[in-house]
Structure 1
Amino acid sequence: MSKLGSIGARLHRGEVSYDFIGKRRLWFTISIVLVVVSLAGLFARGLALGIEFKGGVEYQTNVKVTSSTVDDFTAAVKATNAKDLGDPIVTTVNNDKVSIQTRPLSQDDITKVRTAVAKQAGVTVDKVSTQQIGASWGSQIANKAIWALIVFLVLVFLVIWAYFREPKASMAAIIALVHDVTITVGVYALIGFDVTPSTVIGVLTILGYSLYDTVVVFDKVRENTRGITGNNRFTYSDATNLAVNQTIVRSINTTLIALLPVGSILVVGTFVLGTGPLKDLSLALFVGIAVGAYSSIFIAPALLAVFKEREPGMQALRRRVLAKRGGTVTTASGAPVPVAATAGATAVGNEPAARKQDRPKAGTPVASSRPVKSSSGAGRPQPSRKPRSKRGK
């Protein structure tokens, strides 16, 4: 077995553990910084809406692209002095095509600009294609996208609530989704990529990906916390932390496998094609998948633990657990050290040296004057059974 596979197996069995939940203040701080930067970029620079959303006229023609093509066509279009022309957006497609986008123009001005583009390209007017897109059509797309997002979030909240029978899980998942969308949109604003219908499709797609990863972690949390109030060994945060450790290798593997092809599409769409739906779609997917993996590991489980720890039953459980530990076993951030679910498990934290010396090694039987209850992989107490030779007939 490879070293990475061995680490993953030990994480899943609870033999090693990293205190993700105990360091939640660090993760929350990082997320707040990312969200603030994204919102600052969004309000300061705004989104570069594509022609599909703001309306206008697009001209395309074949031409041999040079280093001065963009400047030459920009000057040629401005020289027409068309009314309400504004600043034309000139982009090159590969090495043999140029695209010019302007604001909505009258029919006479459209003809003037088309003639200027044909003259600059050295082709006849009929070789210049034009496409008019009304702002109302773009507005309809934007409204439908917003409604689709709202309906999606409502359905997600209800489905997760019904599946886990826990509204707090729905709240944590929704907050993580909003976190992912905000950062993705902020990246679009900071980079300056055009927002097109392909971008909307990409954003809605990453919501599903992020949600899938979060639900997998939550499902493991539910397994680890079933009947948790009947023991005094670990808190809800400890069991949640164990769930994250048990699923982190899977999350990393699936994220990397998804990012590799999406990253290739992004490179091809940006540096080879230069423009088009591939670039717009791949950027949303790339950023969203990466941020979604981060939120499903560091944000959503930590939020769920925070919400659940406020319940009276979980607070009473925490007091019992800390009393049993003597109230001295804490992490560097001040959170209790997670107790691993299996015997001899190690947790990250400042465990006293005396306790480390007294702790039995993994797999070593522990003598006791009373029956010892076995534990599952999630650390849940199980009823003990007498050896077959000592059972009563």
Structure 2
Amino acid sequence: MSTDQKNAETERLSVWSKLYRGRTDFQFVAKRKRWYLIAAIMGALCVAVMVFKGFSLGIDFAGGNQYTVPANGTTITEVEAAAAAAGAEIASGQSTGTGDDQAFVIRTTATDVDTAAEIRQAMADAVGAETSDIATATVSATWGASVSQKALLALIVFLVLITVFIWLRFERRMAIAAVAALAYDGLLIAGVFSLVGFEVTPSTMVGALTVLAYSLYDTVVVFDKVQENTAHLLQSRQKTFGEGVNDAINETLMRSLNTSMIGALPVGALLFIGVGLLGVGTLKDLALVLFVGIVVGTYSSIFLAAPWLVDLAERSAVYRRHNQKIASKRAGEPEDDRPARKGAQSRAAEDDDDDRLVRAKTDELPLELLEEPAPVRTGGGSRPRQNVNNSKRRKRR
């Protein structure tokens, strides 16, 4: 099927059919400044929320005491009031379970043994239960600091390994764009947690690493298609690098949406049904980070990572010249329309540079290693040694 026939067939398809076949033409790259503005606004709001509201750190990070109190027909407000009257500083409280199995998980700051016993007795009196019915757990501030350091170290190691992998598998620009998108994902996830007020627990950190890996997977899928579409880009004058990237996003769009929806549906059920309707409060931190991370990861891989790659690539003189040649061709100007002040040697240098980079693209070598122009041979120069030897042989004959 020729290109014209394929285009005519595409025009007859509905939007959903185009999306399913990867033939949409949404201008993600051309309108990237709009996405940058939206991303900047959301990022600024998240930073503001984190600065002014902060985070609700779980007992594993902040240290303190945790009490699991049976509800027995009371409310969490009554239990917290009784604990506060006994000298407790409430860090957080949540309800778990429903009906006869309903219980309250109350977390307080660290206290001494005597005060902890008084708080436990006050809670037991408030719900009409024995102190033995109230389960307690204590975490020291030192342990919480150790957990925080290990979580931060795990995140740093994860980012370093990801950067090295993408740099080796693809190229430097893709590694920079992918890591920047991951950092933005982490910013939005942290902002949502600060806004909602859910506790940051070890489950939250595990979930965050999980969704960052998921976001990376989606970005790598797009970048793999970008590499395929732009492998021989410099050998023709058909498309710019940005257009090739935009085609790659459209061709993988349905795959990204399908993966996101399949991942978001069970997590959404856990968050909205399990936590909201069934009252499984102990899972809400994990459910929230997974749900937000899946949505944000899909957004960043399409609207940020790929456009950032285009911006990084078009800083290269090679792609700038390539784009200029395409613009001249489309405007009906001579393809080699360079300023007259450039001599033949300068034009030869550019042509030699382009040819060398085309070969690099064909061989799938990193472009950044080969972007310095090749030396240009000036003057007549000497003939190759083999030609001289051939001339001598002819003279002897």
Relative to the length of structure 2, the TM-score reads 0.77
Alpha carbons of 1:61 and 1:18: their partners in 2 closer, same or farther (altered >3 Å)?
A: closer
Match of residue 218, structure 1, among 213, 223, 236: 223
**Tell me, what secondary structure is at the counterpart of 1:130?**
strand
Report whether the alignment pairs 1:97 with 2:100: no
Structure 1 Cα separation of the partners of residues 247 and 330 of structure 2: 18
Partner deviation per Cα, 1:19-76 (whole Å, 9 max, x = no partner):
110000001111111111111111110011111111111122323234xx22321222
Letter paired with 1:40: A
1:152 equivalent to 2:158? Answer: yes
8 Å contact kept, 2:96–2:282:
no
Deviation at 1:3, TM superposition (A): 5.0
Displacement after TM superposition at 1:319 (Å): 0.5
SS in 2 for 1:272: coil
Partners in 2 of 1:88 and 1:116 — Cα distance? 17
Query: Match for residue 361 of structure 1?
Result: none
The one-letter code sitting in structure 1 at the alignment partner of 2:55 is: L
Shift of 1:145: 1.2
- Give the structure 2 partner of residue 138 of structure 1: 144
Question: 1:216 Cα deviation (Å)?
Answer: 0.6
Amino acid at match of 2:169: Y
Other-structure match for 2:43 = 35
Q: Provide the C-alpha distance between the structure 2 equivalents of 1:90 and 1:279, rounded to a whole number of angstroms.
A: 13
C-alpha contact 2:92 2:108 (8 A) present in aligned 1 = yes
Query: Conserved in 1, the CA contact under 8 Å of 2:90 and 2:106?
Result: no
Match of 1:294 among 292, 296, 299: 299
Following superposition, the deviation at residue 88 of structure 1 comes to 5.5
Q: Which amino acid aligns with 2:82?
A: A
Q: Deviations over 1:322-367 (max 9, x none)?
A: 0011189xxxxxxxxxxxxxxxxxxxxxxxxxxxxxxxxxxxxxxx
Shift of 1:115: 1.2
When residues 257 and 90 of structure 1 are mapped into structure 2, their CA distance, relative to the original with a 3 A threshold, is closer
- In structure 2, relative to structure 1, the CA distance for the partners of 1:89 and 1:185 (3 Å cut) is closer
2:134 maps to: 128
| Equivalence for 2:67 | 59
1:45 aligns with 2:50: no
Q: Name structure 1 gaps, 5 residues minimum.
A: 329-379, 381-393
- Per-residue deviation at 1:133? 1.1
What code does the residue aligned with 1:293 have? Answer: T
- Residues 62 and 97 of structure 1 are in contact (CA less than 8 Å); yes or no, is this contact kept in structure 2? yes
Q: Over aligned residues, Cα RMSD in angstroms?
A: 2.1
Q: 1:256 to 1:237 in 2, by over 3 A?
A: same
Instruction: Give me the whole-angstrom Cα distance separating, in 1, the residues matched to 2:172 and 2:233.
Output: 18
User: Which amino acid letter does the alignment assign opposite residue 258 of structure 2?
Assistant: N
Whether the 8 Å contact between 1:73 and 1:90 is mirrored in structure 2 is: no
Deviations 1:146-173 (A, max 9, x none): 1111111111111011111x10000000
Aligned-partner residue type, residue 43 of structure 1: V
Partner Cα separation in structure 2 for residue 156 and residue 327 of structure 1? 45
- What's 2:82 paired with? 76
Structure 1 residues 327 and 155, CA, compared in 2 at 3 Å: closer, same or farther?
farther
Structure with bigger gyration radius: 2
- Correspondence list, 1:314-325, <5 A: 314-325=319-330
Cα deviation per residue 1:348-388 (whole Å; 9 max; x = unaligned)?
xxxxxxxxxxxxxxxxxxxxxxxxxxxxxxxx9xxxxxxxx
Amino acid across the alignment from 1:227 = H
Report if the CA contact (8 A) 2:181-2:304 is conserved.
yes
Taking the TM superposition and a 5 Å limit, the aligned residue runs for 1:1-393 are 6-8=17-19, 11-12=22-23, 16-66=24-74, 69-80=75-86, 82=87, 85-87=88-90, 89-95=92-98, 96-164=102-170, 166-274=171-279, 276-326=281-331
Displacement of 1:119 in angstroms is 1.3
The range that moved more, 57-66 or 315-324, is 57-66
8 Å Cα contact 1:38/1:187 also seen in 2: yes
Q: Which has the higher contact order (CA 8 A, sep 6+)?
A: 1
Give the Cα separation in 1 of the matches to 2:248 and 2:161: 25
Distance of aligned partners of 1:270 and 1:109 in 2 relative to their CA distance in 1, 3 Å threshold:
same
The residue number in structure 1 matching 2:9 is none
Tell me the distance in 2 between the aligned counterparts of 1:327 and 1:47. 59
Kept after mapping to 1: 8 A contact 2:66/2:137: yes
Give the aligned residue type for 1:11: G
- Calculate percent identity across the aligned residue pairs: 39
Q: Residues 284-309 of structure 1, C-alpha deviation per residue, up to 9 Å, x if partnerless?
A: 01001001001111111100011011
Report SS of the residue matched to 1:105.
Answer: coil
**1:364 aligns to what?**
none
Asked if structure 2 preserves the Cα contact closer than 8 Å seen for 1:39 and 1:186, the reply is yes
- For these two proteins, the number of residue pairs brought into alignment is 320
CA distance in 2, matches of 1:4, 1:265: 32
Q: Deviations over 1:84-119 (max 9, x none)?
A: x32353432224322222111111111111111111
Is 1:76–1:117's contact at 8 Å kept on the other side of the alignment? yes
The Cα of 1:214 is off from its aligned counterpart by 0.5
Q: Secondary structure at the match of 1:232?
A: coil
Q: Distance in 1 between matches of 2:318 and 2:269?
A: 49
TM-score, normalised relative to structure 1:
0.77
